[in-house]
């Protein structure tokens, strides 16, 4: 649904409060749920709108963290939370997944805030589990008519499957821009004209990246919200509830559709500044927070699946890690190339018959913090993360820049074998051609990134588009591969260009084997070289 204004608030409280936000994974008996945590005090569960992630709630977290322990979840199947094992989950299924996560961290009673689809989940959770919810704040509550439900289900969520010509990205950029003009977006001239400013190219770009975290399954949560009977659910909610909507939010008209409500319900329209809504929600929730203890620290644990997710402390950063516990022996550490992420090596890691750790390097993927400006310091951050995981020695598989980091890691940690994939350093032309791509208002930067990444499967080097440089790499040309590389490139931003420069300065690493990813059976060759 439309993202109502959250950035650019001018309240003193928002400007002056700098709140550290931690990221964690909560392991339940069924899945892992990703959560952002900030602040101290009574627990406040926060649920985002579709099809985004908890990243969309960061401005609201900043406004509430002085009074609450904010626990902003990626709902199941979005962001980095595992999906539900259902083809068409209902809102009740998403609500139960949140309760399972709160059970896993030992929190029995809590406050809850939900925005749009998150509000549907929050209301349903309060109805199904009233003993768990002290109070509920619903920001932009949904009550669709039957005709609206049919129309939205049929037309609101076209396919977002990657296409070889990048038209899925062209469509999505246009779709995201257009929803700031009309709601629903597909009813131009018939729906409601949205009276908000069009965000900057950078803000639209960041929103699009959040969309692409979920990819072509983005429609699942949307359709659950379209099937949701908001009027029936809110009638049955017996906990103290604030229904609040900003005036520029297209869902503000849904407040007029509310059924008769009891005295435990408050209904409120706020003005144009999100800070006003945050202040009202804070005051309401604070009035129902007595006796709610602060949650204990959160620690990730294995899921029983081949690979599981965690964040590893590498002060001042936290590095995202995929981890596997199968087999025996020293862990095998995988380090990706410049502008890539752990996703590039996930399939290879899943083939190993020993414990594995696949990292996002600093400034890349989901890892926090900037990329340090020396390979020695980058290797130091990797070593700190590995020690946090209990690793005292390891073997390393590094791709491109990752191989250079792996070689430098030997100064910090005992490294046995180092296998370099595409380990040759970039030249001056490689670096100059691989400049950081800046978001543009018309979205053309997505096409530039797409063809840069796709040409890597057509030419070597990718920027020499002559017949003499022609190269055929079917795996690199697969739309899903190009799509993943484009998203990774934009997540890394300027860190990708810096990583290439550092790789060039480091030169060719001292490795035990060099393997090209463009050859048939290269993954098997890597594993063979480690034996």
Tell me the average confidence (pLDDT) per consecutive run of 10 residues in the chain, 531 residues long: 41 44 92 96 98 96 97 97 95 98 97 98 98 98 97 96 97 95 87 88 96 93 97 97 96 96 96 94 97 94 86 92 90 97 96 95 94 96 96 96 97 96 88 92 97 92 90 91 97 95 93 90 93 84
Please give the C-alpha separations between residue 369 and each of 57, 102, 360, in angstroms, as whole numbers.
Answer: 19, 28, 11
Determine contact, residues 117/2, Cβ cutoff 8 Å: no
Alpha carbon distance 104, 102 (integer Å): 5
44's enclosing H/E stretch is: strand 43-47
Determine contact, residues 336/495, Cβ cutoff 8 Å: no
Please give the C-alpha separations between residue 268 and each of 56, 111, 113, 444, in angstroms, as whole numbers.
Answer: 22, 18, 15, 41
Beta strands in 86-176 (DSSP E): 110-115, 133-139
485's enclosing H/E stretch is: helix 479-492
Check if CATH label 3.40.50.1820 holds for domain 308-436+493-529.
yes
Alpha carbon distance 66, 69 (integer Å): 8
Alpha carbon distance 152, 145 (integer Å): 10
Class of residue 106 by CB neighbours under 10 A (exposed 0-12, middle 13-18, buried 19+): exposed
Tokens describing residue 236: 């049955």
Tokens describing residue 250: 């297209």
Q: Which CATH architecture has domain 12-157+218-286?
A: 3-Layer(aba) Sandwich (3.40)
CATH 3.40.50.1820 in the chain: give the residue spans.
Answer: 12-157+218-286, 308-436+493-529
Determine contact, residues 53/79, Cβ cutoff 8 Å: yes
Class of residue 135 by CB neighbours under 10 A (exposed 0-12, middle 13-18, buried 19+): buried
What integer pLDDT is reported at residue 1 of this predicted model? 53
Indicate the SS3 state at residue 136: strand
């Amino acid at each position: 649904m439309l993202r109502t204004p959250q950035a650019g608030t001018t309240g003193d409280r928002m400007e002056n409060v700098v709140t550290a936000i931690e990221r964690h994974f909560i392991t339940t008996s069924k899945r892992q749920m990703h959560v952002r945590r900030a602040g101290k005090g009574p627990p406040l569960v926060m649920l985002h709108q579709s099809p985004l992630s908890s990243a969309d709630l960061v401005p609201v977290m900043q406004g509430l963290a002085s009074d609450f322990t904010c626990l902003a979840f990626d709902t199941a199947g979005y962001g980095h939370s595992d999906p539900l094992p259902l083809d068409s989950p209902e809102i009740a299924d998403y609500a139960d997944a949140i309760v399972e996560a709160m059970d896993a961290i030992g929190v029995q009673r809590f406050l809850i805030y939900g925005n749009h689809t998150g509000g549907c989940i929050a209301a349903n959770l309060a109805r199904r589990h009233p003993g768990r919810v002290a109070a509920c704040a619903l920001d932009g509550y949904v009550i669709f008519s039957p005709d609206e439900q049919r129309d939205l289900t049929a037309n609101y969520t076209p396919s977002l499957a990657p296409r070889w010509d990048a038209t899925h990205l062209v469509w999505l950029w246009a779709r995201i821009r257009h929803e700031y003009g009309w709601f629903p977006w597909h009813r131009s001239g018939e729906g409601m004209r949205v009276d908000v400013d069009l965000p900057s190219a950078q803000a639209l770009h960041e929103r699009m990246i959040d969309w692409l975290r979920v990819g072509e399954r983005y429609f699942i949560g949307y359709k659950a919200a379209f099937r949701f009977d908001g009027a029936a659910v809110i009638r049955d909610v017996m906990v103290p509830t604030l229904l609040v909507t900003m005036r520029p939010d297209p869902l503000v008209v849904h407040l007029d559709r509310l059924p008769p409500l009891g005295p435990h319900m408050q209904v409120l329209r706020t003005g144009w500044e999100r800070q006003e809504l945050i202040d009202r929600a804070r005051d309401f929730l604070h009035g129902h927070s007595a006796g709610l203890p602060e949650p204990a620290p959160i620690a990730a644990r294995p899921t029983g699946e081949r690979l599981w997710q965690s964040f590893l402390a590498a002060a001042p950063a936290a590095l995202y890690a995929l981890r596997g516990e199968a087999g025996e022996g020293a862990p095998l550490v995988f380090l990706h190339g410049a502008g890539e992420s752990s996703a590039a090596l996930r399939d290879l890691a899943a083939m190993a018959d020993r414990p594995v750790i696949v990292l996002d390097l600093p400034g890349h993927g989901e890892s926090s913090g900037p990329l340090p400006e020396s390979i020695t310091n980058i290797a130091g951050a990797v070593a700190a993360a590995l020690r946090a995981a209990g690793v005292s020695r390891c073997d390393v598989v590094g791709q491109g820049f990752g191989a250079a980091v792996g070689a430098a890691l030997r100064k910090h940690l005992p490294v046995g074998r180092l296998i370099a994939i595409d380990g040759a350093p970039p030249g001056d032309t490689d670096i100059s051609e691989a400049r950081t791509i800046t978001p543009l208002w018309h979205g053309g930067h997505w096409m530039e990134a797409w063809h840069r990444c796709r040409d890597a499967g057509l030419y070597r080097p990718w920027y020499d588009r002559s017949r003499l440089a022609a190269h055929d790499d079917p795996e690199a040309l697969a739309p899903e591969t190009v799509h993943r590389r484009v998203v990774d490139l934009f997540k890394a931003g300027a860190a990708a260009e810096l990583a290439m420069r550092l790789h060039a300065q480091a030169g060719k690493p001292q490795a035990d084997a060099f393997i090209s990813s463009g050859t048939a059976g290269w993954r098997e060759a890597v594993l063979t070289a480690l034996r």
